[in-house]
Every structure is written in structure tokens, then in C-alpha cells.
Chains A and B, each alone.
Chain A
């Protein structure tokens, strides 16, 4: 069997590793558009903050791959021929497959004012980070208050860069958190020295001598060395769409992660699977989900018919002063009851959203020890065997939840 993987990042790499683990002799070809050894994209913000060096981001030693693995770097897949079961690469080369995994990931959303000549960059690939690195001296504007924006802001702060953050919503992380939890993060960011301008957006960007002049809609003008845009991501589905594979927002897959084309699987940021908390198909564009889907895709490629139970959105945001773990959906909705408790003296906060005794969302601030358990309950859609009030009050420890009697 010839297995082919498009994209060699979280999902692609995890699929490759799992294929080799369960079937060491399988013939695999993996094609990556990027020129580098597989690296972890989430560490780009650490790289900008000079917390890690470039070589520390490499997550796979490609020289240790067995001879039945063929890795192609710097090659883009242009088309997929579903009938002939073959791919055409940008170099014109054709590759045929028996089983195909599409793990093309996502691209950063580029707004109208995006212009590299005006030192406005997104942060998705190694090349993006290098460009930012080239121009940055001591100040930066970060646009967007999502996880990537916040991680970038904290990273830059680490190397003593003055950071100004522009957020269009009233508070950061508005897409994943409720206001109360988000305010904890916001306060901490302000205390750390990040200037946050909420409910504002960029009107125009101009170069003025050696710096970038960012005019905001509110009329304020901010000067900095670079602008880093973190306005979300868009799944990369062009190649799949052209070939006739069914696409909704992302590539549509069944529970075995197989697309509408037989023998073609999808995993990672480009594919849409069931969101356990929302109960609708959804793209949870995060690293652990991509890895998990890559693993399940490998099992199914090898014929082990293992259904993927679905994912939830979750994230961990850790800085010098706090550790926030959140997951699922925390918004107030019909049928969802929210429980929360704040312990100011401990700098702790616990919040749990429960629907019909099944937890669907959570945010634990500075209590990482018991967070994982609830994340996993949400992910598996398992009912609570305890009173949620006691859980958020911290009256029940993880021992109560795990002890079998």
C-alpha cells in the first residue's frame, strides 16, 4: 500500500508516526510545502520572544526515518486526481497513492490593510516569524486578542519589546471566553505592561521614516517597528475543493475521518469534525486536536476502522503570573447552567458550564491540577457524578471524582 500525506505539521506528522508505529514496513510519502524540517508552529511566538532558538522548534529528526519513508520538502501539491488516484506537484512530478491524507492546515486571515511593505505581517509559518524578526527593534503593534495575539504579545514582552494590542471586541479572547474570565486575563496583561486598546481597529497603515504609523478608527495614531496581525485562521481547502471533495467550511469527513472521496482522509486545521460540546460539525484549530486526528486517520488508513469521537476547543495559556485552562463553550445559552467561584486570596477562579448534568465548558484559572479531568469529561461528553457547585467551590478534589467507590 502506498500512503501519501499532504502537509507535514501536527496532523501530518502524527499520522506518519502512527503509520510507522503500527505498520513499520508501510510505504509513505509525505509532501510539505515548507522547506524546513517539521517544526512546531505554536512555538513561533516563543521564537519571537527569543525563548527558544530555531533549532529547538524542530519536532522530528528526519534523518532517523526508515528507507520506506519518502519526505519531499518545498513541494506544493497542485491537484488531486481522485479517479487515477494521483497527485500533481508544483514541480510537475506525479505521485500515485492508495490512501491519501490531506493535512493542509490553515492560513492566517489577511485583512485589507495587510501589506508586507508596510511591515504588517501575520504569524503562521516560519517565514513569517523570520520577517517579523528582521524588522523588530523595540516596539510592536499586535492586532487581535485571540490566543495567537496574546501569546505573541507575551513573547515579545519577554525580550523587552513595547507591545500595544488592538482588540476589536470589548475584551480579549471574546470568541472563547465569557467576559468575567476574560477580564482576569486582560487585567494580568495590563499589569504585565501590555497596552490594550479595546473596541478599536486599524483604519490605515503608513510608513513614516523608519517606523510604521498605525492610524486607528478612534483617531489615535500609534508608532511601532512592526504590526503583527492575529485575526484568526482560514482552512486551506483549495486543492481538495478543486478535486471535487465535499467542503463545508473545512473538508467534510465521516466519523472515520474519510472525506467524500474513498480512500482520502483529512485531519487537522483543514477538516471539520463533530464538536462534542456544540454538537455540530466544527473546526477546532488547535495542535492537540490535529495530532489526535492524524493518529486516528493513520489507524483508519491501515484498516483498523476506528471512529473518531470528536473534539472540543481547548487551550492552555501560561505566563509568569497565571495559568488559564479553558475548553468547550462557556457562553450562556438555553439549557446551559453556569457555575463559578472566585477565590481572590488564592488568585484562583473556576467556572463550569453544564447542560443536562453533562459539562460542556470550563475555565480554570490558576488551578491546573484538576483542570485536565474536566476537559476530558467535556471531550467525552460524560456526565458529572458530583454537584457542580461543590466542584467550582473546590470542596471536591480530584480524588473524589476519580476514587472508584
Chain B
């Protein structure tokens, strides 16, 4: 299964993905016409700013099992069997707000779109584009490689390989006297830094 992988450390906050997302989900599909449509198409990817003004792309992770799907009262949220994506049927949605409560990543919004009422709104991993053999709009437009579209297992393999090779290089031992890192990514960053110094 292919997924959109987010590399927050690479994001520069240009918001192009948000524009591309809106256009991809608009009726016209054109960047010129989309802003003038009667119902404005809203982006489904959110770029948060941290207190240090770092950009953080945040979108639906299509969890399995999905907390939003479990909390959805009218079963408007469902898993599409062929692609494994978690999708929303806006016609069934009763706008009760349970999915926003359940989502650990805060990616659900409520907008008027497609059907004539307010309904839950989130990333569908461009399922329509994927059927045409194209990659999701946000990935296509991302210039800095913060959004990638790849096979889930391959992504995980690559990440573990990277870490294990760094550990194997023995750089870790030099770092032993330092306290533990808050996260794997922080550890990775420090290792990268050391490696650059060594080179």
C-alpha cells in the first residue's frame, strides 16, 4: 500500500501543498477557476507553526484501526477496501463532531462541500487522482521533499536501515556521556551533525 510520508524537518512552509490540494478537490480542477467557484474548495492538509516558527505539515494518517471511524455515529467514515484509505461520505455525515474528538492528530475540519451541508472534511489521499495513476496533488507539488508518496513497508525499511547503519558506524559511543535524546529524530539529527564533522 502506498502512503503519503511526511518529513516535517524538510518542510519550509511554502503552503503550495495546500493550494494544490484545494485545486485538486475543486470542481473545475483548474488553479485559475477554483478560487471563483461558488463553494470554495478547502485544503485538506494543514501546515502548523510551532512556537519557534517551524512549519509542520499535518494530514490524515489513515490509521488502522481508525479512531474517527470508530467514533463516527452514522458510519459516514469508512475504509475503502481496495486502497485501505479512510474516507468520509459527506451525504451520511450528521456533523456531530465526534471524529474531531477522536482524531489524535487534529486533522478533521467541518466545511460545506460536495453535498449542500456542513460535513466532516479531511484528506482522501487523492483517491480520484490515484485511480488515474497520478500521485496525490500535495506530493506532486512539494519542492523540498517534505511530502513523499511511497510504499509503506519500503519507507519503514529505509528508516530503520538508516538508523541502524548510523548506529553501526559507532558514532553513538562518542555520544555516550550526553543524556538520552528526546526522540529518534533528535538522535538522528545529532548523528548527522557528527558525521558531517567527521567527514
Interface residues of A (CB under 8 A from B): 14, 40, 42-43, 46, 51-52, 56-57, 59-60, 287-288, 291-292, 295, 314-318, 323, 325, 327, 368-373, 375-376, 395-400, 402-405
Contact = CB atoms under 8 A, between A and B. Distances in A.
B31 interface: no
Contacts of B128: none
B48 A288 contact: no
Contacts of A375: 101-102, 104
B54 to A, nearest CB: 7
Given A399-B58, A402-B58, 4 more contacts: A14-B70, A46-B94, A51-B94, A372-B108
B101 A314 contact: yes
B183 A405 contact: yes
Nearest to A291: B70
B50 A376 contact: no
B161 interface: no
B98 A288 contact: yes
A398 B58 contact: yes
A184 to B, nearest CB: 15
Contacts of B182: 405
A404 B70 contact: no
A397 B49 CA distance: 7
A222 B102 CA distance: 39
B100 A325 contact: yes
A59 B74 contact: yes
B102 A403 contact: no
Interface of B: 8-9, 48-51, 54-56, 58, 65, 67, 70-71, 73-75, 92, 94-98, 100-106, 108-110, 182-186, 189
Contacts of A318: 95-97
A325 B70 contact: no
29 contacts: A40-B75, A42-B96, A43-B73, A43-B74, A51-B94, A52-B94, A56-B92, A60-B75, A288-B71, A291-B70, A292-B70, A316-B98, A316-B100, A316-B101, A368-B101, A368-B110, A369-B100, A373-B104, A373-B105, A375-B102, A376-B67, A398-B106, A399-B54, A399-B56, A400-B50, A403-B50, A404-B183, A405-B182, A405-B189
Given A316-B97, A404-B184, A372 B103 contact: yes
B92 A376 contact: no
Contacts of B9: 405
A288 B58 CA distance: 24
A327 B73 contact: no
A352 to B, nearest CB: 15
Given A14-B70, A404-B8, A325 B103 contact: no
Nearest to A368: B100
Q: Which 8 A-B pairs have the closest CB atoms?
A: A399-B48, A399-B56, A318-B97, A288-B71, A316-B97, A376-B104, A368-B100, A372-B103
A400 B51 contact: yes
A314 B99 CA distance: 12
A318 to B, nearest CB: 4
Contact of B50 (A60, A287, A397): A397
Contacts of A370: 106
A56 B65 CA distance: 24
Given A372-B108, A373-B104, A405-B189, A287 B49 contact: no
A55 B101 CA distance: 26
B116 to A, nearest CB: 14
B106 A372 contact: yes
B107 to A, nearest CB: 8
Contacts of B74: 40, 43, 52, 56-57, 59
